[in-house]
A and B are shown apart, each in its own frame.
Chain A
Amino acid sequence: MKMRRYAVLLGLILVVGVVLSACGSGSSSGQGGSGDSFKTAMVTDTGGIDDKSFNQSAWEGLTKFGEDNDLKEKEGYDYLQSNSASDYAGNLNRLVQSNTDLIFGVGFKLAEDIGKVADQNKETHFAIIDSVVEKDNVASIVFEEQQGSFLAGVAAATKSDSGKIGFVGGEESELIKKFEAGYVAGAKSVNKDIEVDVQYAGSFGAPDKGKLIASNMYNSGVDVIYHSAGGTGNGVFAQAKDLKNNNPEGNYWVIGVDRDQYDEGQIGDNNVTLTSMLKAVDVAVARVAQDSKDGEFPGGEIVSFGLKDDGIGIAETNTEAYTDDIKSAVDEWKQKIIDGDVTAPGTADELKAYVDSL
């Protein structure tokens, strides 16, 4: 008896669903014919568009593109939020079905789903940030992090009094090795004998480990640490701020990553953030969206952003610590990289060759 009641209820739900969906699709087919106006949208990874990081930066780029082209939010440019990895495919498909011309996937975690959805929808254009998907209708946006890291190394070596600087990485991977190689090369370019202490925390989300590593580094005489470790880097900041708080005269500097981390370094009247290596996801997103709108979508290509096109940069917010001589040294090397006189190494092998050539 009870069983039958459940079965009836289940049947009812299904019937209602089907009937209503028939009504729904009837009305939605009317919206499709909005004509040839350009529409672009992005799918976030599990951080929201207010994550102070990647997603936020990408959304800022898309917003700028929309404003430059007099598009309306929701109609001309939009975003869909993913709360878990299961949401990526659904969100991508939702955008395809609403006739979006160009869909951005923010972060390498969407690479797999972008690949699949792009295969099923050859007419739609996609762009993936920080990863490479080899399909004709996908543009892969990557950054020359080694160039910015090189300049971070130049700044660190110029700032350091002790001749010892540090690098804290998150997980050991090709991507983070790019940061490490560029940083070491930049530092050695300024001071061939500088000692660089390189350590990996094994995680992007372990601030406690970051704090411990930073504590050991500062104790051993390191005075500048560059982190490329996401949340783990917050531990590096925490340790530097602790030390600075106890000893305002001491040299405890941190170089931030991805965006300007000046605010993270504030402790009382002091700020431990020497500078930050900037990765301008917003610039890249706006550029690719504009190209696509102008009919020059870089499908199937790897679009690389570096110092030359302001896709990579170095922050100059902390004017007290980031002195004029550091600025002039950084600018000098920046020009050399842009002119092609110097190539920032991106792997361990390239780094070795570079250091040997000094």
Chain B
Amino acid sequence: MFSSTKFNFIIPIISVLLGLAAGAIIMLIFGYNPILGYQALWNGVFDSPFFMSETVNRITPYILTGLAIAFAFRTGLFNIGAEGQVLVGWVAAVWVGTAVDAPAFIHLPLALLAAAAAGALWAFVPGILKAKLGVHEVIVSIMMNYIALHVTNYLIRFVLTDNQETTEPVKQSASLTNDFLIGLTGSRLHLGFIVALLMVLVMWIILERTKLGYELKAVGYNQHASNYAGMKVGRNIVVSMLISGLFAGLAGAMQGLGSFGNAFTNTAFSNLGFDGIAVALLGGNNPFGVVLSASLFGFLKVGSLNMSSAGVPNEIIEIVIALIILFVASGFIIRWALLQLKKGEKK
């Protein structure tokens, strides 16, 4: 028999394989060569150090938004507001990065802290409304996304700049970029992945090794039982949202202090937060699983840009990603099929 942890591991892998297979079938139906397509996808990432490091850059914020969603999920909360928390974190980091003068060992942590605080603040609103008034966090955090989009656009246009679309680049002392890495790869590879991996550990420690984590998970399993056991459910909801927002805010800092080195006005969402939902789902809401699924997402997104060299439209990868999520979400079918297979063997 399969144990439940084994299922948590196997279902995402089978889903990915099914998604890729379905993508191949779709390519065949539309007259493209799936082998060349997937080869181009692979080469798009591993052909040169430049694109490998681009991929790492892409993975970094996915890890953090994935953690944000996963952490909230474990407490039974759906933080669909990660998108807005990314945006405010991004702008907060760039604000500190451009406006403050300090040596690097103060400046960079300060900018990261600002991003984390901004993200946490943005998540605090839905958290406190849920805890005190029972307003559903999905509704509030979706609305907070739009507020974030327009507030950050306003700040960039009228506070950080004088009616410009793009801010000044952040000062070198606050930048995550590193001359050694840039020289090595010629890309924008930055040190953000270290921050992201640290946060993976932080999440694991909080959830698995602290009393707080135990309580958070307990609230996630059953609010009423936790309440009966004497846990403060409301406080745990707020804390969970704060930590979740902190992760998402840091994802914004990765973009603002690393990949882009500035902030710019957006007419639409960056989708980092929304993709984070899929990353968390595929990663089984486990911090280490999130690293793997974020890596897959980064790989697919960067590699897909090369697919046009094989004559395959890169939108196909969006379809593959959607299918993978669909298969994960219907994991019980895979589980059932596997159990049937096992049974058949026994007979």
Contacts and interface: CB of A to CB of B under 8 A. Distances in A.
Whether chain B is bound by chain A comes out as yes
A347 to B, nearest CB: 15
Interface string B269-287: 0110000000000000000
A6 B288 contact: yes
A90 B305 contact: yes
Interface in B206-252: none
Contacts of A246: none
Interface stretch (A18-26, A248-256, A338-346): A18-26
Contacts of A17: 45-46, 52
Contact of B305 (A28, A94, A108): A94
Nearest to A9: B292
Contacts of B302: 90
B330 interface: no
B311 interface: yes
A6 to B, nearest CB: 5
A91 B313 CA distance: 14
A40 to B, nearest CB: 15
B173 interface: no
A24 B46 contact: yes
Interface stretch (A81-89, A140-148, A183-191): A81-89
Given A6-B288, A85-B264, A94-B305, A13 B295 contact: yes
Interface in A10-63: 10, 13, 17-18, 20-21, 24-25, 28
Interface residues of B, number: 41
A44 to B, nearest CB: 11
Nearest to B44: A94
Given A6-B292, A17-B52, A90-B302, A120 B46 contact: no
B163 interface: yes
Contact of A20 (B5, B46, B54): B46
A120 B52 contact: no
B190 interface: no
A97 B54 CA distance: 14
B4 interface: no
Contacts of B188: 89
B287 to A, nearest CB: 10
Nearest to A231: B267
A358 interface: no
B189 to A, nearest CB: 12
Interface size of A as a range: 35 or more
Interface string B305-323: 1101101011000000000
Contact of B43 (A18, A24, A108, A112): A24
Nearest to A97: B48
Given A81-B314, A205-B267, A91 B50 contact: no
A20 B292 contact: no
B107 interface: no
A135 B255 CA distance: 26
Nearest to A18: B46
Interface in A85-116: 85-87, 89-91, 93-94, 97-98, 108, 112
Contacts of B306: 94
Contacts of A90: 51, 54, 302, 305
Contact of B271 (A10, A78, A84): A84
B23 to A, nearest CB: 16
Contacts of A200: none
A327 B57 CA distance: 55
Nearest to A20: B46
Contacts of B52: 17, 21
A97 B314 contact: no
B314 A83 contact: yes
A3 B288 contact: yes
Contacts of A9: 292
Nearest to B314: A81
A97 B305 CA distance: 14
Interface of B: 5, 42-48, 50-52, 54, 57-58, 163, 165-166, 186-188, 255, 259-260, 262, 264, 267, 270-271, 288, 291-292, 295, 301-302, 305-306, 308-309, 311, 313-314
Interface of A: 2-3, 6, 9-10, 13, 17-18, 20-21, 24-25, 28, 74, 78-87, 89-91, 93-94, 97-98, 108, 112, 120, 172-173, 203-205
Given A74-B309, A91-B305, 16 more contacts: A2-B5, A3-B288, A9-B292, A17-B52, A20-B46, A21-B46, A24-B47, A25-B47, A83-B301, A83-B305, A84-B271, A86-B57, A86-B260, A90-B51, A93-B54, A98-B309
11 contacts: A17-B46, A28-B47, A79-B308, A80-B305, A80-B308, A81-B305, A81-B313, A91-B305, A94-B51, A203-B267, A205-B267
**3 nearest A-B pairs in the assembled complex, by CB-CB distance:** A21-B46, A24-B47, A6-B288
